[in-house]
Structure 1
Amino acid sequence: MPAERDGQGRLGPGGSADFASTPSQKADAANTIETELQPNTKKAAEYADEATNTAVKTFADWDTAAGLKKVSDTWDRQVKVLMGRLASEKGSLRGASGIFARNDIATGDAFKAIARHSKLNEL
């Protein structure tokens, strides 16, 4: 594949020189999970729990109460899984930016070390 210039004039292999998302986009997504998705999911779960608990009490002497309780327990487990997934995704988004930055710095440092010790410098 022929070399192409990226958006900043640097040469590189064919195709885009950019990742699918920038570190700031990853940070924004992680912040959205933390400030919107996690709190709103928790509020929705609590609201559903309150409404279901009221219904279970209302139908205490009916089989409906047992069914509602079973549904509520299932809902609570699913919410717990979702909250764990959101936390994991948030952490992954925040960690990915750091990993890419550290890899870029390490690669750059390795090339600088090679260039300092290259016999080509003597030509």
Structure 2
Amino acid sequence: MRLNQLDDGTGGRGGIGGGSPDLQTSPEKKRAAANTIETELEPNTGKAAKWADEATTAAISAFGGWAVAAGLKTVDTTWNNQVKALLGRLAHEKGALRGTLTALSGQDVGVRTQIASVPPVSSISGY
């Protein structure tokens, strides 16, 4: 058996993805994304849904007794279900971003604690 090259430092992955073998994260970007979801996307989605609901309700009333009114009711029901799904997805993503911040920060603190608990090995400590 013969090796044609040395380990490239990717832990045997051979540079898959071209990335570093270390986990890298940006807490500031995750926090900013979660805040954008909370302060912009969720409220604006709710406002857009309310506006569309009001317009659709007015159209259903205007076309009362016509077949188009029944079609608009179906569209309104579908729209409301999709808005609920979107708001649920946004809430889930916001929670996931914030949960990742907590998990990764906790991991960093745990590793730091383990490292700090290991006494330094030095020839001076023998004296």
| TM-score normalised by length of structure 2 | 0.77
Structure 1 residues without counterparts, runs of 5 or longer: 4-13
Residue of structure 1 in register with 2:35 after alignment: 31
Instruction: Determine helix, strand or coil for the equivalent of 2:20.
Output: coil
**Structure 2: segments with no counterpart, 5+ residues:** 1-7, 11-18
Secondary structure of the structure 2 residue equivalent to 1:15: coil
Letter in structure 2 aligned against 1:100: L
Greater relative contact order (Cα < 8 A, sep 6+): 2
Q: Which residue of 2 aligns with 1:50?
A: 54
Query: Would you say 1:80 and 2:97 are equivalent positions?
Result: no
User: Within the alignment, does 1:59 sit opposite 2:63 as a pair?
Assistant: yes
1:62 CA displacement: 0.3
Alignment counterpart, residue 15 of structure 1, candidates 17, 20, 23: 20
Deviation at 1:108, TM superposition (A): 1.7
Q: Deviations over 1:58-88 (max 9, x none)?
A: 1111000000000000000000010011011
Shift of 1:18: 6.3
Q: For residues 84-111 of structure 1, give each alpha carbon's deviation from its aligned partner in whole angstroms, at most 9, with x where no partner exists.
A: 1101111111111111010011012112
Identical counterparts, % of pairs: 45
Moved over 6 A (4+): none
Q: In structure 2, what is the equivalent of residue 11 of structure 1?
A: none
1:56 Cα deviation after fit: 0.3
Q: CA RMSD in A?
A: 2.1
Residues of 2 paired with 1:18 and 1:97: CA distance?
A: 13
User: What amino acid sits opposite 2:53 in the alignment?
Assistant: D
Greater Rg by CA: 2
Q: TM-score, normalised by structure 1?
A: 0.79
